[in-house]
Structure 1
């Protein structure tokens, strides 16, 4: 029995000793508050960077170590001191050993990285970051990485050392079913201390310590969570899709130190929040911090709504939707093998990818592909689209051939196509040219002009002219035709044949009414047959104002009905029904109205075509005549159509279209039709009972679909909607037939809305009446008349002698009848009666006109008058387009950052040939900057280059020649070519200009001359206003009153151009000896980096100066004969957001032994 109790007591003694040892260790070593290892990759066998971040409760003292132990399966053999960075609140320097002033030493051996604090202490609760690998770039120059274990599994990285804290981080290496957990080490410390003697039992009040949390076996709907505890304890995991853990708790009541619980029924691709709770046998519960992981995403995005939009000759945009964020990729090509791709890596639900560099008129195959953040990808079926064909330009119009002596003067109007490049003019003998390359003809012109003189021809020989327009792609229009016969100037034209018994039309210059020629002495009243301004009965056209009763000749019925018909039907089968008419870039086919006339808008491109199958095969030539112009019709062998593009006439009337087919056996076939040009709509207001055009009104066209108005999309029809009215207030669209309505808006006017209108002739040309907001009480509601104007008289506009206007009239009569006014009138009449005054007035008014002209010349030469004039004309355009613009570019001083006013910005369109030969290209637009230096260009697709000119400045900037960003100025422009890939793009680059260093801008004498010229110009302008007003009062007439307006205009120009900017504050230069201000001190401001001179000024009679400086650094010098030069530097304006005045007072010290010059009282500013 004694032996039994002896063994019991020995066992209890050993247990007490072990317990005391564990408790002692626990008291010394605190658990890290949190610890994470962010690994660049968890793939097995891959090299990775590690970023360990932990919080130390104890802190790290000088001389203490931190050890980081990697599981032996990691390969750390290549890691050196240079591959490690240590950071706390700031970066710490590292070295292989202490002693050189570095903060920490770094060594690694047997997968253990040891850090020793050399001379820096890290406070308790501080966060420590350790970068290992190529990411170590602060103190180290990381070039090596740690290689992950080759096998999948959970591997530990342990942090410990003499600093007293410790903890481990689990890394799930390998397969896709495990991810690293962003977790924190629990800071629960064991409770219940012992004195080490083992004399007394202490109750267990310490909760289990939870560590080594790992989430593994993650699938789309499940995961396993494992952890360890410092003592045997239960297992509980609270989890949910939020930190409220609303999904429930998984539990196990078994007591163990290694725990594992599985979660199921989770949602795919969802972040799961969880916390772990473990209780020991005494009921002490330890709880982890909130942890997260994300279930796997194995479902690919669903692609829908694949569409092709904005197809042009060289571009197309592919759009589609996905049910979750995903990237965008389009594979495309001429076959289903594709071969080209365009992608966007940004994750989105609505996708849009634009394909560029396509070939016109080509069928393309494409397929879209989207992959989500988990690399699950899906793709669409193969689909196709066809790029638009680049149509040739329309023909020239108004072709005229004037006959001269051995010459022909040929003129025309070029088409308005955006890609129009020029025309080729051919002259032939014996017949019209077949096409632009007819070898039997002579080319007399190739260019973009509108006239040519063909010389060296033979008199009395008929010449046939062909003018062929072509575009930038080298495509030619069908051709406009004309004829002419040169003759000597002294020759009489051949007599016209007269029938028996006929009298010549022109006998001795006599004018004959009824010859169907409206001569100069005839008009609609004296000879309505020749000069009728309206519809004429008997002209073969049954117009809207004629019918069978009023004009049976034109509008007869039955067998004698005169309709356009195929006159040569026995040759071929061509008839008027075979003709088709296309507008809106050949997207809308026009349908003839009841009168068999086709309605068109003026000065628009119209394509007329018919099938070649309606003709015989031996066609020699097909021509079309419209309004006196003759055009060739081309055969499109692909579509088997004869067609030509013409510009419709600008006069509002009905025209005859005549088509003639000539066969090689000289047989002909004819067909004719009617073309009725109708007026465009317009927007107007009523002022004093008269219609007044309202420009720049935003008009929207709405299509009524299922009784609901929706904005009509004009882009498929090459038209804008909404759009703004022209300067003449005009507005019109070609539309598919249907039901439409109109809305019109403009600043200061009520919105105007029309009722529904059924369109049957493919033309929407509304007449819109706008009513000003302040006229609401007097005017009726705004009216829109799509079919034509309808008079709507505003109410309450008649003037009466009673009512609200009567009191005002009475007050005015009292004032005019007062004695004071009568005295002024008597004095004025007395002055006018003085003979000398009248003579002076007669002489002075013309003199004032000359003075005004001279002032304009001075302003033009010295003060940017011409750029300002150009700005006045272009500024309203900028105002009208303000809603379309997304921004503007700024021309500014590269050094002072101050905007450059009245700089001329010119935009050139360049080709590859221009660039190869060093030519600037073709000038297409120019702008003049305002006071803010602002400009912009709205351009079509193409390649462009800009030049900028401004007196006293140079472009491109040398100071910022290599910069793309200058503070708040982005996208700096230095003269390089600009490629624009889309129409209606806006060019708004910021353009720096260097101040000129030339003597004529910076020399003091030139500065003084310009200052005096400004004073003289301003004084002359004021005197001109006063003098013109006085003489207009003395001798009132239209000329003298007009001179008042002219002089006021010159004065306003002088204020704008010649008067210098008045600064907010002045700096003053004083004489140090006398304390008086110094005039004519040469003040200069420089940029210190390149010593660039920014500006030169002379102080005025009060010693004042001021420089406008923007965000930059400067220095200034002040020099005057007889005084020592003074310098102010640095002048640091880098923190300024906007330009401000620099105006610092200073004193100049007289030079020793030199008498300073006497100050003049003459002002110079």
Structure 2
């Protein structure tokens, strides 16, 4: 009886162990989660055209309740059978995610998924997005927005989706193993120039429901991009589909306009060309919806850039020739460089002197020279509409072997001019960056700070020039530049690229040479600072996968700058408006891990974000030299190993307990059998 009870207890223990093991294995396969899959929120599909049979861009957006946390969490977008997707390729599709707009993080799309790369497959009416093979929690965070652009609105996009030929309401849906689902409905019409079309989410009033339109379209997110010396792109958005008219000119009377009355759009971009450099232009926007409600904005303005001079322009004389070398500025609309030579001193215009070179090169060998004569060279950069920079300067004398350097003509030798006492002060000069939106203030030691390679504009008010002027030259390091009068004829200016290497450039000399043989000069220091660098922390910390020591620069880090604002007496930290200052914010670090901002002086802080690293925030800090370039560290998140999973340990304990129990029972069974054998032998 006792033996039977023991066997029964052993069986119960065994069954319990097996059930616990099954439970543990199930927990491993289906881990607990607080996330509940369901219907996506705010699902929409915005089409740039709504007419039947036309090609159009799509921007699909939804808020996911489940997120994406593994490589199995695929997302599928399915279009109704009447949409034409046959011409769409991977180059015509962009994928983004983010917590605010959904555009914060762009995903890397390839034909098949790999580490840090999403896979995209197109089959019939379905686009399948497969997460990277190394996806982890937060690849797409819970409650993040997902944005998918298809067509010419994608970076590099060429092909578009064709609308159904017939009018009607057509569905676009999202589903997939990531757990969420939803639908949107697009109303396709015969003529999208006169009739409104609704794109509505399932459950928001039914397919095709339209709210009566009684208000003018709101206009927002107005900014200037792609600004050059002769062109600009003006962007704005409307809260409903609208036509666009852009009026612009040299004053608020305008006089010129661009119209797009053929398309009802949410996003509007107008490119203006053939503008004059260093000039203020005014503009306003007119937006009209399909029923004629119109919004006219207030007046805005922007200023075109100046054509930037070459860097490091130098002239070296040899026997019967002069070698000229320079570095071209990094500007999108540069067309070439014109080099002018003179024996009578520097020329102030590209139309003066003898033109010896014109083109996009970086050097020229001037062989049409005579040994023993001084030659003065001016290099003028010109843009695509033949507007010129103020000019960079260099001089040289070719010499035969053993020939002595001759003196310069007295009327040219600036060193022989008489210095005016008590004339110009360094404070009379004005320094600007970011297209004159940020003024750089010199300190008490006449020191001006700037980020390496920044475009620097130097101005001298005309009323500081007290005599009849011959020329104005600014020396920065080893480079010399001409200052020319601006269009208002009240300021002398030049625009240059700051040196590309950090360091103290101890001489900023501005020489004003007058016709009467006198000169006036001031000196200071241009302090060029390097960009900030984001690196991994120097030593692995507790909770990290053991990686030893490392100090690698980190590419692809999203650096966001926040500025302190005071509203109603309260301290508020808002994302710094980089667009206003012609800079990106946030910035993504390049392969060298670098980032940098030129900002108005004030109080700031920054956040750093990248998958695989802990999101971090700097302390708030004060900027007093217009530069944000901290060197920052990122801390890796813990790389979870299999042995860090709680349920693996439960399973291991159960397996150990089971085998221990079975081994013990086997030993006990053998002992009992041996005892019974010995007892039987004793009886016999």
- Return the TM-score normalized by structure 1: 0.32
Task: Report 1:884-963 matches (<5 A).
Answer: none
Alignment partner of 1:763 out of 627, 637, 653: 627
Aligned CA distance change for structure 1 residues 769 and 468 (closer, same or farther; 3 Å): same
1:440-461 per-residue CA deviation (whole Å, 9 max, x = no partner) reads x222211111111111311111
1:474 and 2:386 matched: yes
Task: Report 1:179-328 matches (<5 A).
Answer: 300-302=214-216, 308-310=222-224, 312=227, 313-321=231-239, 327-328=242-243
Aligned CA distance change for structure 1 residues 337 and 296 (closer, same or farther; 3 Å): farther
Alignment partner of 2:442 out of 592, 606, 630: 592
Task: Report 1:572-721 matches (<5 A).
Answer: 574-616=424-466, 618-638=468-488, 640-649=490-499, 650-685=501-536, 686=538, 691-706=551-566, 707-721=571-585
Counterpart CA distance in 2 for 1:722 and 1:340 is 31
Alignment partner of 1:453 out of 365, 390, 405: 365
In terms of fraction of residues, the more strand-rich structure is 2
Kindly indicate whether structure 1 or structure 2 has the higher relative contact order, using CA contacts under 8 Å at least 6 residues apart: 2
Alignment partner of 1:421 out of 307, 312, 335: 335
Aligned CA distance change for structure 1 residues 612 and 380 (closer, same or farther; 3 Å): same
8 Å Cα contact 1:462-1:485 kept in structure 2: yes
Residue 708 of structure 1, CA deviation: 3.2
Alignment partner of 1:444 out of 337, 356, 371: 356
Counterpart CA distance in 1 for 2:450 and 2:254 is 43
For the residue of structure 2 that corresponds to 1:715, the secondary structure is helix
Aligned CA distance change for structure 1 residues 682 and 431 (closer, same or farther; 3 Å): same
Counterpart CA distance in 1 for 2:241 and 2:487 is 46
8 Å Cα contact 1:336-1:382 kept in structure 2: no
8 Å Cα contact 2:219-2:287 kept in structure 1: no
Residue 679 of structure 1, CA deviation: 2.7
1:391 and 2:306 matched: yes
Aligned CA distance change for structure 1 residues 776 and 399 (closer, same or farther; 3 Å): farther
8 Å Cα contact 1:359-1:387 kept in structure 2: no
Aligned CA distance change for structure 1 residues 694 and 339 (closer, same or farther; 3 Å): closer
For the residue of structure 2 that corresponds to 1:716, the secondary structure is helix
For the residue of structure 1 that corresponds to 2:427, the secondary structure is helix
For the residue of structure 1 that corresponds to 2:523, the secondary structure is strand
1:733 and 2:647 matched: no
Structure 2 partner of 1:922: none
Mind listing any 5+ residue stretches in structure 2 that lack a counterpart?
A: 1-208, 408-417, 540-547, 642-684
Counterpart CA distance in 1 for 2:211 and 2:586 is 48
Counterpart CA distance in 2 for 1:391 and 1:660 is 21
Counterpart CA distance in 2 for 1:757 and 1:602 is 21
Aligned CA distance change for structure 1 residues 416 and 486 (closer, same or farther; 3 Å): same
1:46-74 per-residue CA deviation (whole Å, 9 max, x = no partner) reads xxxxxxxxxxxxxxxxxxxxxxxxxxxxx
1:220-262 per-residue CA deviation (whole Å, 9 max, x = no partner) reads xxxxxxxxxxxxxxxxxxxxxxxxxxxxxxxxxxxxxxxxxxx
Counterpart CA distance in 1 for 2:365 and 2:431 is 35
For the residue of structure 2 that corresponds to 1:603, the secondary structure is coil
Aligned CA distance change for structure 1 residues 692 and 653 (closer, same or farther; 3 Å): farther
Structure 2 partner of 1:404: 318
For the residue of structure 1 that corresponds to 2:299, the secondary structure is strand
Residue 386 of structure 1, CA deviation: 3.6
Structure 2 partner of 1:434: 348
Aligned CA distance change for structure 1 residues 338 and 306 (closer, same or farther; 3 Å): farther
Alignment partner of 1:330 out of 245, 262, 268: 245
Counterpart CA distance in 2 for 1:646 and 1:317 is 28
Q: Which is worse superposed, 362-371 or 424-433?
A: 362-371
Counterpart CA distance in 2 for 1:755 and 1:591 is 25
8 Å Cα contact 2:435-2:582 kept in structure 1: yes
1:724 and 2:588 matched: yes
Alignment partner of 1:370 out of 266, 288, 297: 288
Residue 725 of structure 1, CA deviation: 1.8
1:86-144 per-residue CA deviation (whole Å, 9 max, x = no partner) reads xxxxxxxxxxxxxxxxxxxxxxxxxxxxxxxxxxxxxxxxxxxxxxxxxxxxxxxxxxx
For the residue of structure 2 that corresponds to 1:719, the secondary structure is coil
For the residue of structure 2 that corresponds to 1:653, the secondary structure is strand
1:10-54 per-residue CA deviation (whole Å, 9 max, x = no partner) reads xxxxxxxxxxxxxxxxxxxxxxxxxxxxxxxxxxxxxxxxxxxxx
Aligned CA distance change for structure 1 residues 630 and 381 (closer, same or farther; 3 Å): closer
8 Å Cα contact 2:419-2:519 kept in structure 1: no
Residue 331 of structure 1, CA deviation: 6.6
Counterpart CA distance in 2 for 1:331 and 1:602 is 36
Residue 765 of structure 1, CA deviation: 0.4
Counterpart CA distance in 1 for 2:354 and 2:377 is 10
- Return the TM-score normalized by structure 2: 0.53
Counterpart CA distance in 1 for 2:326 and 2:393 is 11
1:342 and 2:342 matched: no
CA RMSD of aligned residues (A): 3.4
Residue 647 of structure 1, CA deviation: 2.0
Aligned CA distance change for structure 1 residues 426 and 742 (closer, same or farther; 3 Å): same
Counterpart CA distance in 2 for 1:716 and 1:435 is 33
For the residue of structure 1 that corresponds to 2:452, the secondary structure is coil
8 Å Cα contact 1:315-1:387 kept in structure 2: no
For the residue of structure 2 that corresponds to 1:460, the secondary structure is coil
Aligned CA distance change for structure 1 residues 318 and 625 (closer, same or farther; 3 Å): same
8 Å Cα contact 2:562-2:573 kept in structure 1: yes
Counterpart CA distance in 1 for 2:361 and 2:254 is 47
Mind listing any 5+ residue stretches in structure 1 that lack a counterpart?
A: 1-293, 496-565, 778-1165
Aligned CA distance change for structure 1 residues 412 and 353 (closer, same or farther; 3 Å): closer
Task: Report 1:70-81 matches (<5 A).
Answer: none
Residue 745 of structure 1, CA deviation: 2.3
Residue 379 of structure 1, CA deviation: 3.3
Residue 632 of structure 1, CA deviation: 0.7
Residue 766 of structure 1, CA deviation: 1.2
Residue 693 of structure 1, CA deviation: 2.5
1:399-457 per-residue CA deviation (whole Å, 9 max, x = no partner) reads 2222111111111111112222211112210211222111xx22221111111111131
Residue 302 of structure 1, CA deviation: 4.5
The number of residue pairs the alignment matches comes to 399
Structure 2 partner of 1:568: 420
Counterpart CA distance in 1 for 2:284 and 2:610 is 44
Residue 620 of structure 1, CA deviation: 0.9
Task: Report 1:88-167 matches (<5 A).
Answer: none
Residue 359 of structure 1, CA deviation: 5.4
Counterpart CA distance in 1 for 2:273 and 2:530 is 39
Aligned CA distance change for structure 1 residues 315 and 681 (closer, same or farther; 3 Å): closer
1:732-771 per-residue CA deviation (whole Å, 9 max, x = no partner) reads 1101222211112234322231011111211100110122
8 Å Cα contact 1:343-1:353 kept in structure 2: no
1:355 and 2:270 matched: yes
